[in-house]
Amino acid sequence: MEPVVQFDNVKKCYGSHVAVDDLNLSIEPGKFVTLLGPSGCGKSTTLRMLGGFDLPTSGRILLSGKDVTRVPPNKRNVNIVFQDYALFPHLTIARNIAFGLELKGLDNAAIHRRVSELLELVQLQDYAKRLPSELSGGQRQRVALMRALAPDPEVLLLDEPLSALDAKLRQQMQIELKAIQEKTGKTFMFVTHDQEEALTMSDTIVVMNNGRIEQMGDPHTLYGRPGSVFVANFIGETNLLRSTVTGAEGDIAVLDWKGTTIRAERGGLSPKAGDHLYVVLRPEAIQCSADEPAIGNRVKGRIRQRVFKGNHTSLMVEVGDGDLLNALMHPAEAVRLDGEDVWVGWSHETTTVIPDRQTHG
């Protein structure tokens, strides 16, 4: 299938500052794609270049196979939604949504049909004649989205559109946004610095760091098989065990972690004895027990901190000479572990390894 969006070696400099570097990205139509990364990593710049608001310093951008690198925003079939999605305050909801269609010169009957269809999509049929000031924040956000979708853009660009909403409404809008994307089958390119938001909505997450793509994949792969320490730390919480390879057993790497032998899935790597690796051990993969568990990897520790979070308890367990492991437990189980001494265990199947860049070029 021809990609709907393609970045070919795109670079963007502001003076001597490189905001986006060596960007190569190909997006299949109909997907929810999220650019995720810390503030300043180049997400908005990437989106603005696709929208035509910023010109790349070098490289090419293609929309459905057509080079649009130098095509002005109003001449390319994309639309953008920002956080401050200012609706026209003096126009009704229906007229707000109709705005882009009137610009396109559609006839009244066609405009009416399209507006009704979009209002129905977000269950705002009864609000057509209201003014934006008569709607809640969440409803206004839906209208802004429909206004952007009305002219049927090839790609809808969304730059942190939910970041001004409170937590509850934000979670609700995440689910709704994903549902709208699925119903319309449009390609959404969404920008956020919030990993949870990215995991909730995306078909594909593009993790950016310092103007470059760090890793790209579906949410499960990025969470379960992070390819770098940056991604492992940025997506979810993690324990990183810096270990030395001592051998291999098929797809499993055997490692020494501070005197304890542990095993981990080696993923695509072929580590040699003596190599240093990080074992990625997610907090929820750890089982804590009073008695020694019958599980592949286990080590004795001492509970140093318990933090009750309602639906889980986070335990900080000290192992070896002062290393702290973060373990996630059901609160009731955590209460049963009343002493300090505890066994920490995990299966190799729940882990993955990352090369330690300090020892690998």
Q: Which of 42, 7, 17, 82 is nearest to 212 (CA)?
A: 42
> How far apart are alpha carbons 198 and 31 in whole angstroms?
13
Q: Which stretch binds ligand ADP (CB under 6 A): 34-42, 169-177, 293-301, 328-336?
A: 34-42
Of the candidates 31, 43, 142, 348, which one interacts with ligand ADP according to CB under 6 A?
43
Does position 34 bind ligand ADP by CB under 6 A? no
Of the candidates 34, 45, 96, 204, which one interacts with ligand ADP according to CB under 6 A?
45
Does position 19 bind ligand ADP by CB under 6 A? yes
- Of the pair 83, 228, the CB lying nearest ligand ADP is at 83
At 139 the three-state DSSP class reads helix
| Residues 125, 145, 98: CA angle, nearest 5 degrees | 60
Q: Which stretch binds ligand ADP (CB under 6 A): 32-40, 101-109, 218-226, 253-261?
A: 32-40
> How far apart are alpha carbons 356 and 361 in whole angstroms?
9
Of the candidates 33, 34, 36, 44, which one interacts with ligand ADP according to CB under 6 A?
44
Does position 40 bind ligand ADP by CB under 6 A? yes
Q: Which stretch binds ligand ADP (CB under 6 A): 42-50, 82-90, 223-231, 287-295?
A: 42-50
Q: Which of 151, 152, 154 is nearest to 66 (CA)?
A: 154
Does position 39 bind ligand ADP by CB under 6 A? yes
Does position 238 bind Mg ion by CB under 5 A? no
> How far apart are alpha carbons 156 and 135 in whole angstroms?
23
Site string for ligand ADP, 206-245 (x = CB under 6 A): ----------------------------------------
User: In this structure, which long-range contacts are made by residues 224-228, counting pairs with CB atoms below 8 Å and at least 24 apart in sequence?
Assistant: 224/352, 225/267, 225/352, 226/280, 226/352, 226/354, 227/354, 228/354, 228/357
Q: Which stretch binds ligand ADP (CB under 6 A): 36-44, 197-205, 264-272, 289-297?
A: 36-44
Residue labelled with tokens 């066994």? 343
- Of the pair 38, 137, the CB lying nearest ligand ADP is at 38
Task: Give which of ligand ADP, Mg ion, none residue 161 binds (C-beta under 5 to 8 Å, depending on kind).
Answer: none
Site string for Mg ion, 30-49 (x = CB under 5 A): --------------x-----
Question: Taking the complex as a whole, how short is the minimal distance between the CB of residue 34 and ligand ADP, in angstroms?
Answer: 12
List the structure tokens of 49: 């270049």
> How far apart are alpha carbons 132 and 323 in whole angstroms?
54
Q: How far is CA 192 from CA 144, 185, 198, 239, 248, in A?
A: 18, 21, 7, 24, 39
The one-letter code for the residue type at 204 is T
By the 8 A CB rule, do 280 and 351 touch?
Answer: yes
Q: Which stretch binds ligand ADP (CB under 6 A): 35-43, 100-108, 165-173, 253-261?
A: 35-43
Question: Taking the complex as a whole, how short is the minimal distance between the CB of residue 257 and Mg ion, in angstroms?
Answer: 39
- Of the pair 211, 219, the CB lying nearest ligand ADP is at 211
Q: Which stretch binds ligand ADP (CB under 6 A): 39-47, 108-116, 177-185, 323-331?
A: 39-47
Q: How far is CA 352 from CA 74, 96, 228, 268, in A?
A: 46, 50, 11, 10
By the 8 A CB rule, do 180 and 30 touch?
Answer: no
Q: Applying CB under 5 A, which residues contact Mg ion?
A: 44
Q: Applying CB under 6 A, which residues contact ligand ADP?
A: 14, 17, 19, 37, 39-45
